[in-house]
Amino acid sequence: MLSIQDIHTYYGDSYILQGVSLELTPGQVVALLGRNGVGKTTLARSIMGLTPARRGRILFKQIDITNLPAHRIARLGIGLVPQGRQIFRSLSVQEHLDVMARGQGRWSLDAIMELFPNLRARWRSLAGKLSGGEQQMLAAARALVGNPALLVMDEPTEGLAPLMIRELGRTIEVLKQTGTSILLIEQQLAFALRYADMVFIMSKGRIVHQCSPADLASDALTKSRYLGV
């Protein structure tokens, strides 16, 4: 599904991703963990074509997307739920989703509203008036209208109350049941371990550890060394 092969990514002269490789098979939820500043968001940006890798390659469904423009990568079926949500406070829920709605597939607007009933109730509200949890739902809904086969979620639990985190977990379970693959970037270890099929840990622009969630749960040394827990 997604094959990241030894990519190297820079911001100007800053050398951030220093040879990252990662594999994700269809239907899998892969968690990407690591402390602040290790390059997780940069990896998401390289996948989406927002900050393309300078070396190495990224294949999605066997297609080399390394140097494709972002809109083409999105159209091939990768959706991004960006860190910090990046919604437009002065646009309504409807405007966020209408702008993006396109094509056929599993995620019609109706199906999305069934998944997020709160958004249906807030259809004409400005995004800036939504709660943090509703804004996160809106960011996820916006990614789903493109009917992605792969969803990249960058710290979706950040700033959410425990109840909303549980709600988000339910959403991930539904997505998993419908066969959507997810790259779940997280700081919340317990949340990631609950939903991931495989875990990758990043440190200083490299993948330093790969294991099952169960193995990480019982690996105190790795957790304290790379995750500070």
Residue 203 binding result from Mg ion, ligand ADP, none, given CB thresholds of 5 to 8 Å by partner type: none
Q: How far apart are CA 123 and CA 118, in angstroms?
A: 9
Residues 6+ apart with CB under 8 A from 227: 33, 34, 35, 189, 201
Neighbours of 95 (CB within 10 A): 14
Q: Residues 1, 20, 30, 41: which binds ligand ADP (CB under 6 A)?
A: 41
- Residue 183 binds to ligand ADP (criterion: CB under 6 A): no
If contact means CB under 5 to 8 A according to the sort of partner, which of ligand ADP, Mg ion, none does residue 39 touch?
Answer: ligand ADP
CA 98 – CA 134 distance, rounded (Å): 17
Identity of the residue, 45 or 142, whose beta carbon is nearer to ligand ADP in the bound complex? 45
Main-chain dihedrals φ then ψ at residue 47, nearest 5 degrees: -60, -45
Report if residue 38 touches ligand ADP, rule: CB under 6 A. yes
Q: Which does 177 bind (CB under 5 to 8 A by kind): ligand ADP, Mg ion, none?
A: none
CB atoms within 10 A of CB 218: 9
Query: Which residue in the set 1, 20, 30, 39 belongs to the binding site for ligand ADP (CB under 6 A)?
Result: 39
d(CA 57, CA 170): 33
Shortest Å distance, C-beta 83 to ligand ADP = 7
The nearer residue to Mg ion, 40 or 209, going by C-beta atoms, is 40
What are the residues binding ligand ADP (CB under 6 A)? 11, 14, 16, 34, 36-42
